[in-house]
Structure 1
Amino acid sequence: MMSSTNSTHGARSHARGQAAAARMRVPATPTGVDEVTWAEAIPPGSYATKVLGRGSRLQLADPEGGACAHLLMFRADASWERLNVADTMKVPWQAYLGAGHPLLSDQGRVLATIVTDTSGHHDTLCGMTAAGRAQMLLGVHKHGMDVRDIAPSASFFKGARVSDDGALTFTGSAGPGTTVDLLIHLPVVVVLVNAPHPLDPSPAVTDLDVVAWRADDELTVPVTGEPEYLRALFNTESTWAAARSAVSQESEAMT
Structure 2
Amino acid sequence: MSITHYSTEIPGASHWSLRVRAGTLMRLTDLSGGANVGMLFYNPDNLLERYNAPDTLKGQHTFKLTQGNCLYSDMGRVFASIVEDRLGWHETVCGNSNAAQVTERWGARDYQGARNDWHQNGYDAFLVELAKYGLGRADMAANLNLFSKVATDEAGNLQLVEGHSAAGSQVALRFEMDTLVLLHTCPHPLNQAKAYPYTPVQIELSQAAAVDDDDYCRNFRPENQRGFMNNALYHLGK
Q: Distance in 2 between matches of 1:138 and 1:205?
A: 19
Select 2:204's aligned residue among 197, 206, 211.
211
Select 1:232's aligned residue among 221, 227, 234.
227
1:121-140 aligned within 5 A: 121-130=89-98, 131-140=121-130
Higher relative contact order (Cα pairs below 8 Å, separated by 6+ residues): 2
Select 2:171's aligned residue among 166, 170, 180.
180
Q: Does the residue aligned with 2:204 lie in a helix, a strand or coil?
A: strand
Judge which range, 160-169 or 196-205, deviates more.
160-169
1:93-104 aligned within 5 A: 93-104=61-72
Structure 1 stretches lacking a partner, 5+ long: 1-31, 244-255
Structure 2 stretches lacking a partner, 5+ long: 99-120
Instruction: Please list every run of at least 4 consecutive aligned residues from structure 1 whose deviation after the TM superposition is greater than 2 angstroms.
Output: 32-35, 161-167, 218-224
Q: 1:236 to 1:166 in 2, by over 3 A?
A: farther
Identity %: 27
Displacement, 1:146?
1.2
Query: Is the Cα–Cα contact under 8 Å of residues 4 and 204 in structure 2 kept in the other structure?
Result: no
1:33 is aligned to 2:28: no
Query: Is the Cα–Cα contact under 8 Å of residues 43 and 206 in structure 1 kept in the other structure?
Result: yes
Displacement, 1:159?
1.2
Displacement, 1:121?
3.9
Q: Does the residue aligned with 2:188 lie in a helix, a strand or coil?
A: coil
Write 1 or 2 for the structure with the bigger share of helix. 1
Displacement, 1:220?
6.0
What is the aligned partner in structure 1 of residue 161 from structure 2?
A: 171
Q: 1:143 to 1:223 in 2, by over 3 A?
A: farther
Displacement, 1:169?
2.5
- Root mean square deviation, CA, Å: 1.7
Displacement, 1:174?
2.4
TM-score under structure 1 normalisation? 0.78
Query: Is the Cα–Cα contact under 8 Å of residues 34 and 165 in structure 2 kept in the other structure?
Result: no
Q: 1:109 to 1:197 in 2, by over 3 A?
A: same
Q: Does the residue aligned with 2:161 lie in a helix, a strand or coil?
A: strand
Q: Distance in 2 between matches of 1:216 and 1:241?
A: 20
Deviations 1:6-48 (A, max 9, x none): xxxxxxxxxxxxxxxxxxxxxxxxxx33341x42211111101
1:145-164 aligned within 5 A: 145-162=135-152
Judge which range, 119-128 or 56-65, deviates more.
119-128
Q: Distance in 1 between matches of 2:234 and 2:207?
A: 21
Query: Is the Cα–Cα contact under 8 Å of residues 41 and 210 in structure 1 kept in the other structure?
Result: yes
